[in-house]
Amino acid sequence: MDATAMRAAVLGGATGARSMTGLAGVALTTRPDRAPGWVGRLGNRWGRGVTATAALGEMLADKSPRIPSRLSPPVLAERITVGAVSAAALARRDGGRPAVAVLLAVAGVVGMSVVGARWRAYAQQRGRTTAAAAALVEDLAAVVLAAAACAPRRRGRWR
């Protein structure tokens, strides 16, 4: 299995935790002059600004009890779609095989969506303060996963 495919699975986990964080990670680590077509445009000033704003907005809005479950079919479908696009962008940027990257990212999205929903349900049973802290931990996990998946490759890393 190639390194990009493994990184795409991790990126899918970030997207399962927070749907826009994976795509923002790709945008923020992509140099427009070194990526082909739409992936390069994702890494330009506008692409970075839009995806980072969307990721931050989602992290803020996620704390509201009015937000539907990430496991509801329309919300999960959106996460899967964004995860697939994120993985395809990562694969195009880094020269990996997009089909494999997308499949592994979708598995990561679904897996982390289920884990995240269970984590939040557990925290909510423990109390209001615990639920807020759990949401912040999940934000941090999404950022760390996206950063790990999108970091510039170094020799010997992800093999």
pLDDT tens track, the chain, 159 positions: 689 999 999 999 999 999 999 999 999 999 999 888 999 999 999 999 999 999 999 999 988 888 899 999 999 999 999 999 999 999 999 988 999 999 999 999 999 999 999 998 898 888 877 888 999 999 999 999 999 999 976 655 544
Six token digits for residue 91? 């694969």
What's the pLDDT at 2?
Answer: 84
159: in domain:
no
What's the pLDDT at 159?
Answer: 45
133: in domain:
yes
157: in domain:
no
What's the pLDDT at 130?
Answer: 83
CB atoms within 10 A of CB 144: 15
For 76, list phi and psi in degrees, rounded to 5.
-65, -40
59: in domain:
yes
**Which range marks the domain in which residue 143 is found?**
3-150
Six token digits for residue 93? 């940027």
121: in domain:
yes
61: in domain:
yes
158: in domain:
no
**Left (φ > 0), alpha (ψ -120 to 50) or beta: where does 68 sit?**
beta
Q: Domain tally for the chain?
A: 1
Which alpha helices (DSSP H) does the chain contain, by range? 3-17, 21-28, 37-42, 45-61, 73-94, 98-126, 128-150
What's the pLDDT at 154?
Answer: 62
